Structure formats: C-alpha cells, structure tokens
Amino acid sequence: MSAMESVDPEPLDEVATAAYAHLFQALADPTRLTLVQHLASGEHRVRDLVEHLGLAQSTVSKHLGFLLECGLVTLRPEGRSTWYSLAEPELLRRLTAAAEGILKATGTDAVLCTHLRQPHRHRSTATGTATATATGDA
C-alpha cells in the first residue's frame, strides 16, 4: 500500500461516544466534581452537602440528579432521609489518578482531595464513625 492510499477508519460508535461525553460532562462541572469529592469521604444527605458547600438546596439536588443519571452516585433511603454515596469509588479513584497523570504530563500538577486517593469507607456524618450505614433525619 502506498503512502497516498488510506484505509477507511472504522465507523465511530455514536452510542459509546455519547456515553463517554455524558460521563465527562458529569465530571466537567466544578460543582459536581466538588460533590464527588465530598461523597468520596462517605454518605451524605442533601442537607449535609448544602451545609458543607454553602450552596442552595435546589443546586445540590440538581447536580446530584445529574450524577445519579450518569450512574456515578447511588442513593439509599432511610426513614425520611436519603443518603447519597459514590456508586463506584474505586473506579473513580482510578479515573482521578489517570487524570492527575495526564495533567502532570501536560504541565499542571493538580491533586483532588485525599478522599479520592484512599480506600472508600462509609462514614456517618451524624456520628463521625466509620460504618456501613448512617443515620439521621432529613
């Protein structure tokens, strides 16, 4: 085959491309990335996140909804409360490490919160103890 000849590239998978774009869109928003960092420390209720971030409840709920839609966050109802947590903390940890490597290679030495670098444990914000579950009211 000569240099002038080209091979037709494989057609792009539009569904896969859209799925990747949606995932990266979820992590591209600073507020959503901040929520992910907070959830890396364990389960939180919306009211906890509102208090920690100083954002409006509607803003936190909207962004959590987007993260839920992408499958990055799960929810666990408990009484009148709903607890949010990362769906795949280990996979997010690996993605974050890969992003840090890319940033470093391109001249930016940036590291997100240490919670994304450590093994995930559910942490009750109400009691401050490591547990598999958490309690509290809405």
For the domain spanning 14-116, the CATH number is 1.10.10.10
Tell me the pTM.
0.74
Element (H, E) at 105: helix 89-105
Q: How far is the C-alpha of 104 from the C-alpha of 38, rounded, in Å?
A: 23
Nearest to 38 by CA among 73, 68, 80: 73
pLDDT tens per residue across span 29-66: 999 999 999 999 999 999 999 999 999 999 999 999 99
pLDDT tens per residue across span 110-124: 887 766 666 544 444
Q: How far is CA 1 from CA 6, 7, 9, 19, 78, in A?
A: 8, 9, 15, 36, 65
> pLDDT band for position 131 (50/70/90)?
very low
The tokens for 95 are: 């993605």
pLDDT > 70? residue 133: no
Domain ranges of the chain: 14-116
User: For residue 49, what pLDDT is reported?
Assistant: 97
